[in-house]
Amino acid sequence: MADNEQGGMTDSLLGRWRELSRPRQVVIIIVSAAALAFLLLMFQYLSQPKYVALYSNLDPVEASPLVQYLREKGVPYRLDDFGGTIKVPQDRADELRIEMAGQGMPFAQGLGFEIFDEDSLGMTSFERQVKMQRALQEELRRTITSLDAVMQARVHLVLPEPSVFMRESSEPSAAVYLKLNPFVALKQEQIRGIVFLVASSVENLQPENVIIIDSQGNILYDAVTSTDPLIAVADSALKQLEVKRSFEMELENRVQGMLERVFGPGRALALVTAELDFDSQETTVITYDESGVPRSSHLLEESFEGEGPVMEEVGESNYPGYVGVTPGGESSFERREETINYEIGESKQTTLTAPGKVIRMHTSVVIDNGENFLGADVIQQVNNLVSAAIGFDAERGDLISVESMSFDRSFEEKMDTALAEMEQQQRREQLIRQAVLGGAVLVAFVLFMLLWRRRRRLQSEEEEAIPADRRPSLEQLLALEEKEDYLPEMSLESSPQVRARKMVETHPEVAVSVLRSWMVEE
């Protein structure tokens, strides 16, 4: 019975398909194919796993064993960044990392100190020296690569063999190659850090024997050239220019940001030219105090009282002109001598003037007046604002020039026009996409309505073709309600009117067929 019903349904569908016109058949085929393709694409997109990076920044030597391992395990993968990044399904990423770590992967470009894990007894001293050099190079490469700014690194060491003769001995040297991440530059402190890292890791290696280059061949560090006086002067001049330009840009941004808040974005321009003194000076001033502190003193006092001698000439003497001394009257004598040594008070003051002192500044400000000319009072207000913002000093010889002019907006107008055309083109494309989508929906709706009307018409013709004596009566339809496999959702009610109303609400096509049969009988 089921096979007969299925065969009859198939014949009915084929018959209805043949009755359709050729354009309708073409439309049905196109819409069905598009719907099927859309469903297939959606199913493929939804069923496709999300890929995440398993490892990144890999060299071909490092990526090759990883790819081979994934192939052996049958794990789907993708390669990005020219093979430097391996992506796997998100739900397998953590598991694969653990498995590969257990296998010792990813393998590095070389072996570090693990190269001595399998040491052979027959290794010669030369082989041991070569392995030690390879291990040092690899360990340094790993350490340098761990820096955030470094993508890849290679280290080459020259370790001369020790000699018993001092004249024949040579110092070790090192060369470091760095490939930096995009838009990243190393600071001088970081470069010196790498130099001292390499020098401290190798025995007897001096920092002046280390050279560093980048992937563009630029020398980042070279102690030989850095000690050249001419190069040192050039580097110092470049640093001074950088400091000068940084100071000027800071003032320009400050002034321009302030004026744009007043006149509007793009309506003010400020340029600052500063003259800086990069000479360092050290001044020492020594001051002596007038009043000192006594350090030592010496006092000498002498006194005498009694008869003093009297000088008189002797009448007869063997010596012509001899003056004799005879006792005289009472006499006294006093003498006082005092010496005081003072400690000299001394104060010493040393002043060190750091380089970068501002000698003078020249500031130029241009304001877009647009259609309205700015008066002298506004210009003076702007002059006052700029003077306060940059720290104007007339005694230093600073100058400020504020002018009002009309800006050339032709380029901005062209850019605005191009952006407007681009936005309009995007809106047109969006409207076209929406129109195509709306048209497709409309065509599908019209096709659905045509098929539905066609089905209703054929169903009505089939119902009208049924003889009146074979059409079911209302009592027969109500009797079918007793069966559980027919109208199972209807509840049993004692009133025939209620059951008839529910039957009409649930199966309107049966009710329509009954009404049409009654109308035919009348």
Residue 444 burial by CB count (10 A; 0-12/13-18/19+): exposed, middle or buried? Answer: middle
- What gap in Å lies between CA 173 and CA 208, rounded to an integer? 9
In Å, what is the CA distance from 48 to each residue of 38, 290, 331?
15, 95, 136
C-alpha to C-alpha distances, 160 to 169, 205, 250, 287, nearest whole angstrom:
8, 11, 52, 60
DSSP assignment of 280-330 equals -EEEEEEEE-SS-EEEEEEEEEEEEEEEEEEEEE-SS-SSTT-EEEEEEEE
Q: What is the DSSP string of 80-117?
A: ETTTTEEEEEHHHHHHHHHHHHHTT-S--SS--GGGGT
Both tokens of residue 280? 């360092």
Instruction: Please state, as a whole number, how many other Cβ atoms lie within 10 Å of the Cβ of residue 437.
Output: 10
Helix, strand or coil for residue 179? strand
Compute φ and ψ for 394, nearest 5 degrees.
-70, -35
C-alpha–C-alpha distance, residues 215 and 185, integer Å: 12
Burial of residue 210 (number of CB atoms within 10 Å: 0-12, 13-18, 19+): buried
| Residue 328 token pair | 């005289």
| Residues contacting 457, CB < 8 A, separation 6+ | none
Helix 2-19 × helix 410-464 angle, to 10°: 120
Question: What confidence score (pLDDT) does residue 475 get?
Answer: 59
Tell the residue number behind the tokens 């997109």, with chain if given: 45
Q: What is the pLDDT of residue 484?
A: 44
Chain mean position to CA 348: 51
Please tell me whether the peptide bond between 508 and the residue prior to it is cis, using omega within 30 degrees of 0. Answer: no
Q: Can you give the pLDDT of all 522 residues of the chain as single tens digits? A: 445 555 556 666 677 777 777 777 777 778 777 777 777 776 766 667 778 888 777 777 778 888 888 888 888 888 887 777 888 888 888 888 888 777 767 655 556 665 666 666 667 777 778 888 888 888 898 889 888 888 888 899 988 877 666 566 678 899 999 988 888 888 888 888 999 999 998 888 888 889 999 888 888 887 655 555 666 676 777 788 888 999 999 999 999 999 999 888 888 999 999 998 888 788 888 887 766 677 778 888 877 776 655 555 555 555 555 555 555 556 677 788 888 777 777 778 888 877 888 899 999 999 988 767 778 888 899 999 999 999 999 998 899 999 888 888 788 788 888 888 888 888 888 888 777 777 777 777 777 777 777 777 766 666 666 555 555 555 555 565 555 444 444 444 445 556 666 666 666 666 666 666 665 554
Query: What's the angle, vertex CA 278, arms to CA 273 and CA 281, rounded to 5?
Result: 140
Euclidean distance between the first and the last CA atom of the chain, given in angstroms as a whole number? 35
Tokens of residue 51, six digits = 């890929």
The number of beta carbons lying within 10 Å of the beta carbon of residue 477 is 19
d(CA 429, CA 382): 48
Burial (CB < 10 A; 0-12, 13-18, 19+), residue 378, is middle
